[in-house]
Amino acid sequence: MAQPTSETGTPLAEITAPRFDIDFEIAYAGDDNFTGAPVYGRPACYLHHDAAAALLRAIELAGEIGLRLLIFDGFRPTEAQWVLWNHTPDPDFLADPRRGSPHSRGVAVDLTLVDEKGARLEMGTGFDDFTPRAHHGNRDIPSRAQVNRHILLGLMTTAGWDFYRNEWWHYQMFDSRRYPLISDRQLERPMMPPGGKNRQPPNP
Ligand SMILES: [Zn+2]
C-alpha cells in the first residue's frame, strides 16, 4: 500500500505531541552542539512514516517501564549534513553527505531516555561525544550507564530499529539506503535558516 505523503510530496511525518508523547531538545537548532552554532533555522523533528511507526512502538515500550524518550535529532536535510561534515569530516561519526546520512533520508533518530520527572538517565557520555566512550559495549563508563544503554538498545531494537555501534544515541531503519535522500527544498516549511550560507552545499 502506498504511504501517505505530505502536501509537498515528501514521505515525512512531523513528530509532535500529542500523537508522539515524547520530549525534544533538537541539538542542531541551538548552539549546544559540536559545531557551536545553530545549524537549523527552527527546532523541528520529522521522520519517514516507517520510522515514525517504529518510534511509536518504542514510546509504548518505554512507557511500560516508566520511561520517556528525549529526541536530539530526526530528519536532517542534506544541506545540514554538509554543514556538519565541513566542520568535522570524520566518517566514524558522520556520514559523508555524498553518500548520504540515514538522517537525510528521514529514517534515523538520535535520542536518550528520561525518567518520569524528565531527568535524563545517565548514559556515560553526552550526545555527539566523538570518543570510544560513546561506543556500545564500552566498559569505561559507570555500570549504571551501561545498564541504561542496554535498556535503550533493547527497547529500540524490539521496536524495529537498527543500532550504530559507535553512537549509543543513534538508531536507524534497517537497509536505510533504500529510502531516498531528502533536501530542505522539498519541505513545505524549510528547516535551514532563510538565506543563510548553510542552504547550499559547497562545490565538491
Ligand atoms: Zn544519528
Residue 106 contacts by C-beta under 8 Å, 6 or more apart in sequence?
10, 11, 12, 46, 47, 48, 51, 74, 75, 179, 182
What distance in angstroms lies between residue 188's CA and the mean position of ligand 1's atoms?
Answer: 23
The Cα 143–Cα 148 span in angstroms is 9
| Cell of residue 138, nine digits | 564500552
Ligand 1 midpoint to CA 27 (Å): 11
**Is residue 196 over pLDDT 70?**
no
CA of 20 to the centre of ligand 1 (A): 19
pLDDT digits (tens, 9 = 90+) for 148-193: 999 999 999 999 999 999 999 999 999 999 999 999 999 999 999 9
Which residues, by Cβ under 5 Å, contact ligand 1, an ion? Answer: 110, 170
Q: Is the distance from CB of 138 to CB of 125 less than 8 angstroms?
A: no
Please say whether the beta carbons of 150 and 158 come within 8 A: no
DSSP-based three-state secondary structure for 146: helix
Query: 63 C-alpha to center of ligand 1: Å?
Result: 22
Compute the distance from residue 33 Cα to the ligand 1 centre, in Å.
13
Measured in Å, residue 94 CA sits from the centre of ligand 1 at: 8
Question: Model's pTM, two decimal places?
Answer: 0.91
- 64 noted as active-site residue: no
pLDDT tens figures, 56-90: 999 999 999 999 999 999 999 999 999 999 999 98
Show the domains of the chain with their CATH numbers. 12-195 (3.30.1380.10)
pLDDT band at 199, cuts 50/70/90? very low
Catalytic residue among 25, 60, 122, 167: 167
